[in-house]
């Protein structure tokens, strides 16, 4: 396998992207990987999901990738922009990194560690988990990515100084609330796919009920799509303005579940729009949780919880197994991204 093919597989690039060059700098002990796309490639617009041709490119950017064979690895690419007639010119999303990040997804996972574990997923469990951090770690926390669970919020506020200013509710959990906010189509997929004459009497009654609600269901879907504009805002202030406009539209509509979701988001708005400043999500913590579940499946379970915790710390705790060089030394004294994990559920990812 050639070097370009190797990095193509490592990065998991599909047909729209390809590794065009790999440069090895022995003097600097660095590998530079260059990524591009074939001419004529079309990309998905980030807001409306239209597939559009490339409009132009941003200046070349670079992302830090996990080191290979002790060589520093950098990924280089000029990101395409697409022009939507409705929304204008936007930069497309790249598959190897999150929006605004200077690190690849694999680098974030590679440099994340589990620092504390506790049993359960209530407030007391969260407090017990966070309390295992050292004073220096607690004081160095800059932002906390979590879902909208009240227990997680209470635990963070009790242990982390000024946590109310540092909590960032995960954008994907917020959107999940929206998807669950209108249940008028719940368990109706088969009804819509089946010919009307083939429906049972019970299914026909369900169809009639859903058919009468189709207008309100369409409005609920439109409101969900409108909320996605919030994540593209460049500041918390503009995101707040965007939300307030959206909220006024939703609160005067009929579906009560949608109103309930809107009020719930409004109560936590400060920690929702903070995403536009910190740009962090639960992605890394969720990825770490997947690694933990893989460890559990690989050995077919553990005899007791303590053995499970020991395995988590061994594989995910960032242990330095080198005799002369510690992990902290390798990162010039900078702490890694801290993931606080509960044995039943991931509680929060802390960016330090």
The CA distance from 302 to 272, in Å, is 38
Question: Do 352 and 340 touch, CB atoms closer than 8 A?
Answer: no
Longest Cα pair distance anywhere in the chain, in angstroms?
A: 77
Say how many CA atoms lie within 13 Å of 338 toward its Cβ: 23
Mean pLDDT of 93-107: 78
Tokens of 12: 């998991």
The CA distance from 164 to 339, in Å, is 19
Mean pLDDT of 333-344: 42
pLDDT in tens, 17-27: 889 999 988 88
The CA distance from 1 to 13, in Å, is 16
pLDDT in tens, 123-163: 999 999 999 999 998 998 888 989 888 998 999 999 999 99
Q: In which band, very low, low, confident or very high, does the pLDDT at 35 lie, cut at 50, 70 and 90? A: very high
Q: Name which residue leads in pLDDT, 80 or 198.
A: 80
pLDDT for 34 equals: 93
Helix, strand, or coil (residue 33): strand
Q: Name which residue leads in pLDDT, 48 or 249.
A: 249
Angle at 286 between CA 103 and CA 94, to 5 degrees: 35
**Domain limits of the chain?**
3-107, 111-167+281-351, 171-269
Tokens of 126: 């969260």
The CA distance from 70 to 65, in Å, is 12
Question: Do 236 and 277 touch, CB atoms closer than 8 A?
Answer: yes
Mean pLDDT of 296-301: 76
pLDDT in tens, 232-283: 888 899 999 999 999 999 898 777 888 888 999 999 999 999 988 887 888 7
Find the radius of gyration of the CA atoms of the chain: 23
Nearest C-alpha neighbor of 118 from the set 143, 158, 155: 155
Alpha helix segments (H runs only) across 252-282: 256-267, 269-273, 275-278
Q: In which band, very low, low, confident or very high, does the pLDDT at 87 lie, cut at 50, 70 and 90? A: confident
- 80-84 and 51-57 strand pairing: antiparallel
């Amino acid at each position: 396998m050639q070097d370009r093919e190797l990095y193509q597989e490592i990065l998991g690039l599909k047909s729209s992207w390809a590794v065009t060059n790999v440069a090895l700098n022995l003097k600097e002990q660095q590998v530079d990987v260059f990524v591009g796309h074939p001419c004529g490639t079309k990309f998905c617009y980030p807001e409306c999901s239209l597939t559009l041709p490339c409009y132009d490119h941003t200046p070349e950017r670079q992302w830090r990738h996990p080191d290979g064979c002790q060589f520093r690895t950098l990924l280089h690419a000029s990101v395409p922009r697409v022009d939507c007639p409705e929304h204008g010119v936007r930069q497309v999303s790249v598959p190897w990194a999150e929006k605004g990040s200077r690190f690849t997804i694999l680098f974030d996972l590679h440099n994340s560690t589990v620092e504390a574990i506790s049993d359960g997923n209530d407030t007391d469990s969260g407090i017990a988990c966070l309390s295992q951090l050292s004073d220096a770690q607690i004081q160095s926390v800059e932002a906390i990515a979590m879902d909208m669970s009240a227990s997680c919020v209470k635990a963070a506020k009790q242990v982390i100084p000024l946590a109310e200013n540092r909590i960032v509710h995960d954008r994907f959990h917020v959107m999940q609330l929206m998807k669950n906010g209108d249940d008028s189509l719940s368990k109706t997929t088969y009804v819509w796919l089946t010919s009307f004459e083939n429906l049972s009497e019970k299914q026909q009654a369900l169809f009639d009920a859903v058919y009468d609600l189709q207008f309100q269901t369409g409005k609920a879907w439109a409101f969900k799509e409108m909320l996605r504009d919030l994540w593209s805002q460049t500041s918390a202030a503009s995101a707040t303005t965007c939300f307030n406009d959206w909220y006024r539209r939703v609160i005067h509509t009929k579906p009560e579940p949608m109103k309930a979701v809107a009020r719930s988001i409004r109560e936590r708005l400060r920690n929702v729009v903070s995403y536009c400043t910190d740009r962090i999500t639960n992605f890394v913590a969720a990825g770490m949780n997947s690694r933990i579940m893989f460890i559990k499946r690989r050995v077919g379970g553990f005899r007791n919880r303590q053995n499970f915790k020991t395995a988590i710390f061994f594989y995910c705790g960032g242990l330095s197994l080198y005799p002369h060089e510690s992990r902290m030394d390798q990162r010039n004294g900078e702490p890694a991204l801290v993931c606080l994990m509960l044995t039943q559920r991931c509680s929060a990812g802390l960016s330090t």
